[in-house]
Amino acid sequence: MAQVRPFRGVRARPDLARDVVAPPYDVLDEAEARAIVARNPRSFLRVTRPEVNLPVGVDAHGTEAYAAAREALLGMLDDGTLVQDDEPCFYLYGQRMGTHVQTGLLAVCSTAEYDAGIVKKHEYTRPDKEQDRVDHILQSGAQTGLVFLTYRQTEGLATLLSRPSELPLYAITTDDGVEHVLWRVDAPETVAAISQAFDAAGDLYIADGHHRSAAASRVAAELGDGPARWFLCGIFPDDQLQVLAYNRLVADLNGHSAEALRAAVGEHFAVAPIGTGVPAERGHVHMFLGDRWWRLVRRPSTASSDPVADLDVAVLQHTVLEPLLGIRDPRRDTRIRFVGGIRGPEALEQAVRAGEAAVAFHLFPTSLDELFAVADSGQVMPPKSTWFEPKLRGGVVVNRLR
């Protein structure tokens, strides 16, 4: 059982939505965020990356920056760039990227259920990133980023959350070619039916947003009863999500020659030369090494009944990255870089050919069934195991706490 409730959302005025809706705060560096805001002063990055409102060099995680976030949010409300709905409601958020279409529910979920494991996680959080979101929520007085949740689709929810036939609040296309559509769902009988359907649907799973959900839980514990007991979520069915690979680049071969590394990899994988392309199935990894691509196929000895140990990303870590390349802590080791699958094998090959890395690994995407199995077992995945596309944008809907 998962509680999913309506709320009084803050959203862009429809005619300004194209300007307001912004990339997620955590996919940009400061220079990129400043460049966007310089071109478009209405960008919601003024709230989610508030250092852009201040001189270069100001601490992006300091009190002055968080105060600037609140000032920017209130300013956008005051001048009508953002509006708040009068009554609690749900929202449907549709995205189209190429031929891929997904539609999810924007709602608030229970921090108590997150604490109890009904909203399930599959990643560790970093204390510094978690604290940043705690400070941002407390000082801005709002939850400004969606926690991306998924669930096992049901027939009832598929019907209730299908794209409405009526006109949306807005439909925009962002610079990356992704279409974003927002509908308000405020009919009392529909709101009640959606809440009841989720109450009966089972657990929710975090797809992306572990730091935001952990921060919301901490804020709720600090503030006690009230609006902070609920956190802002975008909830999408598993049968509509697109999971891409999260690939690896390693800076050097840890003293191995290319030939020696390839031979050592052969202990756990069958290795064969191939042309370019992406892995065709689970258990396959493509490696760019020594000026060409190689197909690595897991040997039966790598199989495990443990849902974490059996992940391709875990097998690669424990048989190649750690023992052969010396990557013992992929969260902190600066010799490894992670590249989202949206960039394709070409980006990996280019990085190696340009001398930015010595070897690249392109994985087959981790499936949602694998994610569910890990979360259901109460375990966590290796870092950077999943890459979802399209990303949920910033500034679509905000949940004010004060």
Higher pLDDT, 126 or 73: 73
Query: pLDDT digit string (tens) for 15-32?
Result: 999 999 999 998 899 999
Mean pLDDT of the region 353-381: 97
pLDDT level of residue 332 (50, 70, 90 thresholds)? confident
pLDDT of residue 396: 98
Q: Are 121 and 213 in contact (CB under 8 A)?
A: yes
pLDDT of residue 392: 97
CB neighbours of residue 263 within 10 Å: 12
> Is the peptide bond preceding residue 323 cis, with omega within 30 degrees of 0?
no
Helix (H, G, I), strand (E, B) or coil at 277: coil
Tokens 């920017």 appear where? 72
Q: Are 37 and 394 in contact (CB under 8 A)?
A: no
Q: Are 287 and 280 in contact (CB under 8 A)?
A: no
pLDDT level of residue 225 (50, 70, 90 thresholds)? confident
- DSSP for 364-386? PPPPHHHHHHHHHTT--PPSS--
